[in-house]
Structure 1
Amino acid sequence: MATNESSISSPNLPAAAGAASASPFAPVTPPPRLRLSDMVYEQLETMIVEGRLAPGSALPSERDLAQQMGVSRPSLREALLRLESRGVIVGRAGGGYLVANASQPLLAEPLSQLMSRHSKTVDDVLEMREVLEAKAVELAAARATSEDIARLRQVLEALEAAFAAGQDGRDGNAGKSLLTHMPELDAQFHLALAEATHNLVLVHLMHAIFELLRGSVADNYQAIVGHGADLEELIDQHRRIFNAVATRDACAATRHLQDHLAFIRANTANTANTVDSSGT
């Protein structure tokens, strides 16, 4: 008996559903008024919304992506152009596309400008991190996958290596790692914690404010070094947070995160640059 293609009412229905032939699979055809490019668009958009394609990540080449999705390149290209027109993806130099961080200009840029003019916002950022990240480490301890743990370990080990290089000058410029490489990796570690929550809203929010977080962390390192605080203790705090998440100890993860932020607060107090109303 031939397969009745009209019984397929949704592009997400498994191919084998409704098939009466011996074959477990049947050709999938889009419902009337839904083109193949629409189905491609919906799949890619869903992957972006769910965080399976993170902001800043590169899409495969058109050829590879068309092969993986089993569609023609014209249909794929039509879907990609539609995503680009909506600002969901952006073209990159040399060809291809990156997943856009669409919320960042709306959130991070105005906040960064505000921080540059008002020193009080330094404390406000720490308060925001206390709210968001305390919950993030709790969720990460419960939900992190083996891939999430591996990512956190990779960033932590890079952070430890940058500290060692900055301490003995192996980076070719004594202190460079302490005030450039370390803050970047520190921010990446906290972003990886957020991603390990698998909370879609939290992940997108943290990506949206990542530039704000990175700038704040860099300022914190300047202040901490200026205070003569022990950066090795800062590294140990990240190690304790990681160990708690990796061992599924949500209470310990939250406690270590709070200790970490308290350490930052204690060593950055009264160090923010005051900017006058003229902005100079």
Structure 2
Amino acid sequence: MPFQTIEAEKLSAAVVRQIEGLILQGILRPGERLPSERELSERLGVSRPSLRDAVAELQEAGLLVTRAGAGIFVADVLGSAFSPALIRLFASHSEAVTDYLSFRRDLEGLAADRAARLASDTDLAVIQSIFTRMEAAHPKRNPADEAGLDAEFHMAIIEASHNVVMLHMMRAMFELLREGVFYNRSIMFRQRSTRDTLLEQHRAINAALQARDSEGARAAVQGHMDFVQLVLAEQEKAERHEAIAQLRLRHETERP
């Protein structure tokens, strides 16, 4: 007969599965500190020895790291998405920016389509909350808060699409953007007119998502990314023209 004796699962195995699931779903993020051993064992309802066994197994799997005197952290699992050599290539070749934006246009358009169809009401409430904070940050002279919320808004859409492969891939891409590998995000929010346009584009994306209009959400995201690409191209052109103008000025002032 094809039956086998059912064995009770070790508590440490159940802890491992729960923490693995939280990391897979993107709820526990790379670099995030876990609660203390005492607090975590109480929350999970397991003994400290069982928790230590689970942590050791997750460390061996490369999902958790222990820092002396600091605690237990989720490993930087995104760091392995691109090699340092490839990141340097991205940073040193301008065509990588165009490819990056095209990649985001396609993937985020798909994510918005999925989110409009598959997101829970709670997912949509999170997106609405972030957009409300964007509106509140918009009048500020310093665009840093609004620029930061822009990234949160886009990641919330990807999270609401409920595809864990897309989630982790796009988190890696946004981490490179945060580090300035592709372009300086603050450039997008430098001009007031550009900031106004960006806010309206995010408003359109949010409205389509809240209405569960999948086609409208995809189109709004793609239109937004097309605008971002246009602004960056115009900024690059303006910088080239300024460099030439500086050379002309220097030459003119050095003439006898």
Structure 1 and Structure 2 fold alike (TM over 0.5): yes
Instruction: State the identity %.
Output: 37
Asked whether 1:127 is paired with 2:102, we answer yes
Where does 1:151-166 land on structure 2 (aligned, <5 Å)? 151-166=126-141
- The separation in 2 between residues aligned to 1:141 and 1:109, in whole angstroms, is 36
Q: For residue 138 of structure 2, give the secondary structure of its aligned residue in structure 1.
A: helix
Equivalent in 79, 98, 112 of residue 137 of structure 1: 112
Equivalent in 175, 184, 190 of residue 225 of structure 1: 190
> Deviation digits for residues 7-36 of structure 1, max 9, x if unmatched?
644xxxxxxxxxxxxxxxxxxx33xxxx43
Where does 1:74-153 land on structure 2 (aligned, <5 Å)? 74-91=49-66, 95-107=70-82, 110-153=85-128
Q: For residue 248 of structure 1, give the secondary structure of its aligned residue in structure 2.
A: coil
Where does 1:261-280 land on structure 2 (aligned, <5 Å)? 261-272=225-236
Q: Give the C-alpha shift of residue 112 in structure 1.
A: 4.0
Does the Cα contact within 8 Å between 1:156 and 1:238 map onto a contact in 2?
A: yes
1:236 partner amino acid: E
> Deviation digits for residues 107-135 of structure 1, max 9, x if unmatched?
28555422321111111111110111010
Instruction: Describe the shift of the 1:143–1:100 C-alpha distance in structure 2 as closer, same or farther (beyond 3 A).
Output: farther
Does the Cα contact within 8 Å between 1:107 and 1:209 map onto a contact in 2?
A: no
Q: For residue 202 of structure 1, give the secondary structure of its aligned residue in structure 2.
A: helix
Does the Cα contact within 8 Å between 1:142 and 1:250 map onto a contact in 2?
A: yes
Aligned residues: 234
Name the TM-score, length of structure 1 as normaliser.
Answer: 0.73
Instruction: Describe the shift of the 1:218–1:146 C-alpha distance in structure 2 as closer, same or farther (beyond 3 A).
Output: farther
Does the Cα contact within 8 Å between 1:186 and 1:217 map onto a contact in 2?
A: no
Indicate the structure with greater helix content.
Answer: 2
Q: Give the C-alpha shift of residue 141 in structure 1.
A: 0.6
> Deviation digits for residues 69-124 of structure 1, max 9, x if unmatched?
22101110221132123321234686443333413343285554223211111111
The gaps in structure 1 that reach 5 residues or longer are 1-5, 10-28, 167-176, 275-280
Does the Cα contact within 8 Å between 2:115 and 2:157 map onto a contact in 1?
A: yes
Q: Give the C-alpha shift of residue 235 in structure 1.
A: 0.7
The gaps in structure 2 that reach 5 residues or longer are 241-256
1:150 partner amino acid: A
- The separation in 2 between residues aligned to 1:159 and 1:233, in whole angstroms, is 13
**CA RMSD between the two structures:** 2.8
- The separation in 1 between residues aligned to 2:26 and 2:188, in whole angstroms, is 34
Instruction: Describe the shift of the 1:271–1:232 C-alpha distance in structure 2 as closer, same or farther (beyond 3 A).
Output: closer
